[in-house]
Amino acid sequence: MSSYETISVAIEEAVATVTINRPDKLNALNAKVLAELTAAFVGLAESEPPVRAAILTGAGDKAFVAGADIAEMSGLSAAQAKAFSDAGHRLGLVIEAAAFPVIAAVNGFALGGGCELAMCCDFIYASDKARFGQPEVNLGLMPGFGGTQRLSRRVGLARARELVFTGDPITADRALGLGLVNEVVPHAELGSKVREVAKKIASKAPLAIAYSKRVMARGFDADLALANELEATAFSALFDTEDMREGTRAFTERRPAKFTGR
């Protein structure tokens, strides 16, 4: 595994933990962080033995990611800002394209780019101390890493407009009520909760997980008939896998299945 300056990557029992490690800057995103996160997730997608689930979180006790690095961003030209935005979108696509689920463990502030980064993950668990928001309008800006698009897909257009237009942060409990996060847990229990879920996912058939993730992503905005055809095609393809044969055999033999991803 490569070494990084602004993040850390650890793998244990097929579960990767990617930590943004700038606690003195509240883990703010700059060009270096975006590049290293992208490289890390590309590397995890190609790792041997393969990763079966990943956790994305922030170092320290205050922030997941408090937003973009304003000191760096404020000096950008329009062309440089476009490149910065493109880098954020590229990272989001890499996370979404990963064959394994990525869980955001939001341990504090997830504002601006931090909220956008969390929304790139398959789902979000939040500490009861977490705060979410898209406050870019307070800087004379708008979301630039997919916030205007992913937020509306998660919480609905009217609620997304409210959050983007007011720039107001919301509590973890309100984010839960809006459907932005899957669960809110006591701050001290967040790490253990997310690891428990990630390990459970890692124990399942990895090809079935990968196919399910891909079909759900591609079918979400598609015509229902087309989306169901995508599902049927993927479903039938799994019948040619060793994992399907192992899973059904284990079920009839009343024992835990041992999946190999083949």
Question: Sheet holding 63-65: strands in order across?
Answer: 63-65, 109-111, 131-133, 170-171
Picking from 51, 130, 118, the residue whose alpha carbon sits closest to that of residue 91 is 118
Helices (H), 46-171: 70-73, 78-97, 113-120, 147-155, 157-166
Mention every residue, 6+ apart, whose C-beta is less than 8 A from residue 226.
Answer: 219
Question: How many angstroms separate the CA atoms of 32 and 88, rounded?
Answer: 11
Active-site annotation holds for 162: no
Question: How many angstroms separate the CA atoms of 68 and 112, rounded?
Answer: 7
Query: Which position among 5, 36, 116, 246 bears the catalytic label?
Result: 116
Tokens representing 238? 């799994």
* Other beta carbons within 10 Å of 26: 21
Picking from 71, 73, 69, 76, the residue whose alpha carbon sits closest to that of residue 26 is 69
The alpha carbon of residue 196 and the mean position of all alpha carbons in its chain are separated, in whole angstroms, by 17
Question: How many angstroms separate the CA atoms of 3 and 6, rounded?
Answer: 9
Query: Which position among 136, 183, 246, 253 bears the catalytic label?
Result: 136
Burial 38-71 (b: 16+ CB within 10 A, else e): bbbbeebbeeeeebbbbbbbbbbeebbbbbbbee
One-letter amino acid for residue 204 of the chain: K
Active-site annotation holds for 246: no
Residue numbers annotated as active site: 116, 136
